[in-house]
Amino acid sequence: MRITRIAAYRVDLPLHEGKYAWSGGKAVSVFDSTIVRVETDAGPVGHGEVCPLGPAYLPAYAAGVRAGLGEVAPALLGQDPTELAAINRQMDRVLKGHPYVKSPIDMACWDILGQATGQPVCALLGGRFGADVILYRAISQDTPQRMAERVAQYRKEGYRRFQLKVGGEPEEDIERIRAVAAELERGDVLVADANTGWLSHQALRVARGVRDVDVYIEQPCLGYEECLAVRRHIDHPFVLDESITGIPELVRAHGDGAMDVVNLKIGKLGGLTNARLARDLCVTLGIAMTIEDSWGGDVTTAAIAHLAHSTPPELRFTATDFNSYVTVSTAEGAPQREGGRMAASAAPGLGVTPRTDVLGDPVLDFA
């Protein structure tokens, strides 16, 4: 099988809530997503998606996806999309770094491999564990009262795990965590995600201020060393996210005892191939995982569902259904949240069929 064409589409994804805000006053109201289509000479057509959380979150931005695809895509024409290691090696050969650029192509090649073998991607990634995957709901940064109201609302919709966007002024973040914790019941899970927004003295003040609250602290500071210092001074369970950009960082953090849970984002790691490697390493090392991406719509959500569903449940801390946050559906067949849970499709590949009317004309086309 050979790749005959790679096209990319740009889709705007507005939010049901109007905007999504996190640490440092950063916010996005319309996400700029790129969906990649990979065609073959044997019939299967694969799709992948990457959607950075705006240009100011990770070193990734939407226009950079499209510029990077211009470097990578021509070098993949004529290659076998089912040889995932060879595809990734070729992408790394022609473009150093920029894992988020490579993620949608890798995702589309897994979609093709699934279609070619008649297997859902979760089966190829290791098997389907359990009936479904437990989701968390990210709570955009707002006043403590408004965030508590949101949690109460999403609790009614079936979510039991919540990730608060903190990383602001310490006193207010303490109020945010306390206001939301008051809404929760036994069995619920609360994470306070600072998204690198605190300096270490601020993180220590917040942790001290909520010492009696059952809450996880996620990525308090920008640097790994600051996060590690905070981790060693507090007794809350601890999540690393932005600092874990690849396997060397994961191995080092495990060796340092730097986290209890790691947040694996498919785009941050460069696609399902690399995310599966990190996932399998975490399974072997006994590190629980949040399995997700930076953002996305139906195609990203499908890929998350396959990676999460093929992860043993005791190591699956939580996952994200981004397609329920956005107002535009880009594909049929994507997982739909039910009572705070979702399941990977049983159809071959990712199980999604993009809506051509929503995608419009390609913004890039290599053949």
Segment near Mg ion (CB under 5 A); pick from 41-49, 153-161, 259-267, 296-304: 259-267
Spatial separation of the C-alpha atoms in residues 312 and 309, rounded to whole Å: 8
Structure tokens at 150: 């949101």
**What is the number of helices (H) and of strands (E) in the chain?**
13, 18
Site residues (CB under 5 A) for Mg ion, limited to 109-128: none
Spatial separation of the C-alpha atoms in residues 112 and 93, rounded to whole Å: 22
CA angle 235, 236, 237 (to 5 degrees): 120
Q: Going by C-beta distance under 8 Å and a sequence separation of 6 or more, which residues neighbour residue 91?
A: 72, 75, 76, 102, 105, 106
Structure tokens at 98: 């920029």
9/22 with CB nearer Mg ion:
22
Largest CA distance in the chain: 60
173/241 with CB nearer Mg ion:
241
Beta carbon of residue 355, minimum distance to Mg ion (angstroms, whole number): 29
Note whether 253 and 275 are within 8 A (CB). Answer: no
Q: Kindly list the catalytic residues.
A: 165, 265
Check binding of 292 to Mg ion (CB under 5 A): no
Segment near Mg ion (CB under 5 A); pick from 170-178, 182-190, 198-206, 263-271: 263-271
Segment near Mg ion (CB under 5 A); pick from 39-47, 128-136, 257-265, 345-353: 257-265
Considering CB under 5 A, how many residues would be counted as binding Mg ion?
A: 3
Beta carbon of residue 290, minimum distance to Mg ion (angstroms, whole number): 7
Across 66-83, b (16+ Cβ under 10 Å) vs e yields bebbeebbeebeebbbbe
Site string for Mg ion, 192-211 (x = CB under 5 A): -x------------------
154/317 with CB nearer Mg ion:
317
Note whether 271 and 81 are within 8 A (CB). Answer: no
Beta carbon of residue 225, minimum distance to Mg ion (angstroms, whole number): 18
Site string for Mg ion, 4-43 (x = CB under 5 A): ----------------------------------------
Check binding of 106 to Mg ion (CB under 5 A): no
Beta bridge partners of 342: 133
Segment near Mg ion (CB under 5 A); pick from 136-144, 234-242, 243-251, 333-341: 234-242
CA angle 315, 298, 274 (to 5 degrees): 45
106/242 with CB nearer Mg ion:
242
Single residue of 226, 241, 298, 321 touching Mg ion by CB under 5 A: 241
* Closest chain position to Mg ion (CB): 241
Q: Specify the DSSP element, H or E, that contains 10.
A: strand 3-14
Would you tell me which residues interact with Mg ion (CB under 5 A)? Answer: 193, 241, 263
